[in-house]
Structure 1
Amino acid sequence: MRIPHIFEPTIGALGTDFNLSDDAAGHVGRVLRMQVGDQLRLFNGHGGEYHCEIVDSSKKYVTVRCIEFIDSECESPLAIHLGQVISRGDKMDFTIQKSVELGVSEITPLFSERCGVKLNGERLAKKHQQWQKIAIAAAEQCGRNRITTIHPPIALEQWLTQPSDATKLTLHPRAQHSIKTMPAPSAGVRFLVGPEGGFTDAEIHSSHEHGFMDIRIGPRVLRTETAALTVLSALQMQFGDLAN
């Protein structure tokens, strides 16, 4: 039987009992309906996981005992930072969820000229919190012991100007280069995926000025939510999880 893998930001010392946070307790008690004596694998996002056992439970709390620390990781050797222009509806949620499963390290949601999503103030803050929760749930599901950072949404130009030694890539259907022909990244990858309407010529020009190289991943034009996942898979195949 598969032991549930749950994010718990504050984990007690080995051999001690402690109460789960409200989010973790709700998931364990109300969703999974786990009982006293059931086993859990908890992780706090700092690496490794903790084998724990439920020792007490009620409608208001779940108490667990920390039994053993397990130094296990399934992180990719390739650090990948995705700059994704925000897409409509649940497409952005889908992109974040699946990108986490595919091993992305960081995601920055972006606003570009043709971005069809208008968010600001409180609505933007709530959406950012929702995206981080999606990343946590995806890590729980796929067995990662580290949490993908979802950065606050910013303008495309602001993200392009951030200093980085990573290999910088822009997805473009008419690019001359492909992932197969690019050199192996020495300091991770930052790659940029545009909106449903594509980048403007000025935005493409700006990306070039800031050191981004256009790449293609095939002869077909992909939807924005498909593009990010395809590039991630190709990068993991060529330089990351499946490179050796």
Structure 2
Amino acid sequence: MRTPRIHVEADLVVGAILELPSAQMRHVAQVLRLAVGDRLIVFNGDGYDYQASLAETERHRSTIAIDGRSEPEPAPPLEIRLAIGVSRGERMDFALQKAVELGVNRLTPIFTKRSQVKLDGARLDKRMEHWRGVVIAACEQSGRRRVPALDRATRFEDWLDAQRNGGLLLDPGGTAALADLAPPEHGLTLLIGPEGGFDPSERKAAGARGFLGVRLGPRILRTETAPLAAIAVIQALWGDFKGT
């Protein structure tokens, strides 16, 4: 049986007794149904896994005893930053979840001219909290010990203004194939639109900022499929899929 693995936002130290936050306490007791003495792994994003056992469990309190620490997660051979147009509902969740599993290091949701989702204020705060949960859950499942950065969703124009080194724009009409490109020297920024893709003016603006249009074969992929296919190819060419 696989040892349960959970994220905890707390300082983790070998030899310490840690009281679990309420959400993790409920998960351990009600979902995992762990008993005193059962083993689990906890991580906080510092690059390590911590081995622990359930030391105490009561109705409103659970503690764990931390008794070991893993080796640090190796630094990735290629830092991948994904800027993705906000799409509706489960499409966005799926794209974020699988991007994390595939090894993306930074995620930026962007609102474009063709974005069908409009969020601001409290609604955006709530959605960001939800997406953060998706990212954390993907780390728990995939074994990642460092949590990718999740930037607050922003307008495409504002995000593009801050870009200095260009990147790759996934575009069915792109002139280049990923396999034909030289390996990136300083990480890679991948830009992908929402349902309906980018407006022509947005593609032009991205090109002016140094983004090269690239294609993925002869088919047009959905907004939640395109980043995953592209990231997998990028990892196989230059990242941590290479040679594995």
* TM class by smaller structure: over 0.9
Unmatched segments (≥5 aa) in structure 1: none
Q: Give the partner amino acid of 1:169.
A: L
Q: Give the partner amino acid of 2:14.
A: L
Q: How does 1:146-165 map to 2 (within 5 A)?
A: 146-165=146-165
Q: How many residues align?
A: 243
Q: Which residue of 2 aligns with 1:239?
A: 238
CA shift in 2, pair 1:215/1:12, >3 Å: closer
Q: Which residue of 1 aligns with 2:181?
A: 182
Unmatched segments (≥5 aa) in structure 2: none
Q: Which residue of 2 aligns with 1:225?
A: 224
Q: Is the 8 A contact 1:74 1:145 kept in 2?
A: no
Q: Is the 8 A contact 2:164 2:209 kept in 1?
A: no
Partner of 1:90: helix, strand, or coil?
Answer: helix
Q: Is the 8 A contact 1:169 1:215 kept in 2?
A: yes
Q: Is the 8 A contact 1:74 1:144 kept in 2?
A: no
Identity of aligned residues (%): 37
Q: Give the partner amino acid of 1:54.
A: L
How much has 1:25 moved relative to structure 2?
A: 1.5
Partner of 1:76: helix, strand, or coil?
Answer: coil
TM-score for both structures, normalised by structure 1: 0.95
Partner of 1:145: helix, strand, or coil?
Answer: coil
Q: Give the partner amino acid of 1:48.
A: Y
Render the CA deviation track for 1:124-154: whole Å, top value 9, x for unaligned.
1100110011100110011111112211100
Q: Which residue of 2 aligns with 1:205?
A: 204
CA shift in 2, pair 1:33/1:75, >3 Å: farther
Partner of 1:97: helix, strand, or coil?
Answer: helix
Q: Give the partner amino acid of 1:191.
A: L
Q: Is the 8 A contact 1:11 1:18 kept in 2?
A: no
Task: Please state if 1:127 is matched with 2:127.
Answer: yes
Whole-angstrom CA distance in 2 between matches of 1:123 and 1:177:
38
Q: Is the 8 A contact 1:15 1:67 kept in 2?
A: yes
Whole-angstrom CA distance in 1 between matches of 2:195 and 2:22:
37
Partner of 1:99: helix, strand, or coil?
Answer: helix
CA shift in 2, pair 1:169/1:30, >3 Å: same
Q: Is the 8 A contact 1:115 1:196 kept in 2?
A: yes
Whole-angstrom CA distance in 2 between matches of 1:128 and 1:18:
27
Q: Give the partner amino acid of 1:76.
A: P
